[in-house]
Structure 1
Amino acid sequence: MADTFSQVHLHFIFTPKFRASLIAPSWEADLHKYITGITKKNAHRMLAINGTADHVHMLIGFQTTQSIAAFMQDVKADSAQWINNNKFCKSRFEWQAGYGVFSYSKSNVDNVIQYILKQKEHHQKVSFIDEYRLILEKFGVDFKEGYIFKSPE
């Protein structure tokens, strides 16, 4: 809409199914580029993307013309298909159901970008699941431990 103006910064966190360490360094950068393309195709702006073998962080300048759920469905479905079509994993790749999404003010954007870009260094000190719990607590999100991310059955 011509008369709609917004400034929404969303930090997304998501992981392969069962938090498996499946994102290999040999194709990680290409995955990030592919997800950036999906983001642009949906009229959003990628501000930062990074992660480790078991999760991805993104900071997006988010347009309000699409729902968060629809965007994440596009990101996960399209990128999983791309991973599977390229046979990067020995078995079928799937993303974990669910994700984390957190909003930040413009004044925090630079700090969040730096945090995302330094994920590999950060996770030499803190595990992903501990990091995720801290973020949920920081934002006051009520959660049940068993539902943070599904473990293998």
Structure 2
Amino acid sequence: MNKEFKQGNFLDFFIFVKKGMSVYTQNIYHVVFSTFSQEETIKTNGQKVLFKYIWELLKNKNCELYRINGTANHLHLAMSLQPLIALNSMVKDIQQSTTEFITESHLFPDFAGWQEGYAAFSHSYKEKAELVNYIKSQEAFHEKHTFEEEITQLKQLHGLN
């Protein structure tokens, strides 16, 4: 440490460190959450409107959405967050905001909200393309697998039992 700060007070040290600090992060999250009781209420004809709303929400918080997709009963997001935003807070914000948006716009008349909780998995930058492709192919994936099977597979793949 520079000797001129050895005798300074804590505030001087904090200002010195703050001015010289940079924050670099690369956290890509795969977030999955379902509709209440996994009811199939997110109809295809309104999904693009919902996806655009979520993209705008994340963009306004300086977060990046790499891909969003889903089926009638759940969504997948590949995203990065700003370092000061907690994942749990962001997911809650997405769920609360979209519930209000869907209700006010009558986008999905039978929508009863989101299931409490979510699944989230971290990915490296090298895995981003594979994750985006996985999310793109949700319709084809769910022709053969249920949501429950998918969550079980994802948990096993990421070492969660």
TM-score, length-normalised on structure 2? 0.84
2:146 is the alignment partner of 1:127: yes
Matched residue, 1:45: 64
Decide which moves more: 124-133 or 90-99.
90-99
1:100 is matched with which residue: 119, 122, 129? Answer: 119
Return closer, same or farther for 1:66/1:89 CA change in 2, 3 Å cut-off: same
In structure 2, give the amino acid aligned to 1:112.
Answer: L
Q: Match of 2:43?
A: 24
Equivalent residue in structure 2 for 1:65, among 61, 81, 84: 84
Structure 1 contact 8–63 (Cα < 8 Å) conserved: no
Q: Identify unmatched segments of 5+ residues in structure 2.
A: 1-17
Confirm whether residue 111 of structure 1 aligns to residue 123 of structure 2. Answer: no
Q: How far did 1:93 drift?
A: 2.6
Q: Following TM superposition, by how much is the alpha carbon of 1:92 offset from its aligned partner in structure 2, in angstroms?
A: 5.8
Q: Distance in 1 between matches of 2:43 and 2:133?
A: 22
Deviation at 1:41? 1.5
Q: Secondary structure at the match of 1:58?
A: strand
Number of aligned residues: 142
C-alpha contact (below 8 Å) 2:30/2:123 kept by paired residues: yes
Distance between the aligned counterparts of 2:112 and 2:40, measured in 1? Answer: 11
Among all aligned residue pairs of Structure 1 and Structure 2, give the percentage whose two residues are the same amino acid: 24
CA distance in 2, matches of 1:11, 1:90: 27
CA distance in 2, matches of 1:56, 1:48: 11
For residues 79-110 of structure 1, what are the alpha-carbon distances to aligned partners after superposition, in whole Å with 9 as ceiling and x for unaligned?
Answer: 01000001234456311100000000111100
Residue 88 (structure 1) aligned with residue 101 (structure 2): no
The structure that is helix-richer by fraction is 2
Moved over 4 A (4+): none
Q: TM-score scaled by structure 1?
A: 0.88
| CA displacement, residues 59-87 of structure 1 (integer Å, 9 cap, x when unaligned) | 00222110011101110000010000012
Larger radius of gyration: 2
Alpha-carbon deviation of 1:137?
1.1
Aligned-residue RMSD, C-alpha: 1.4
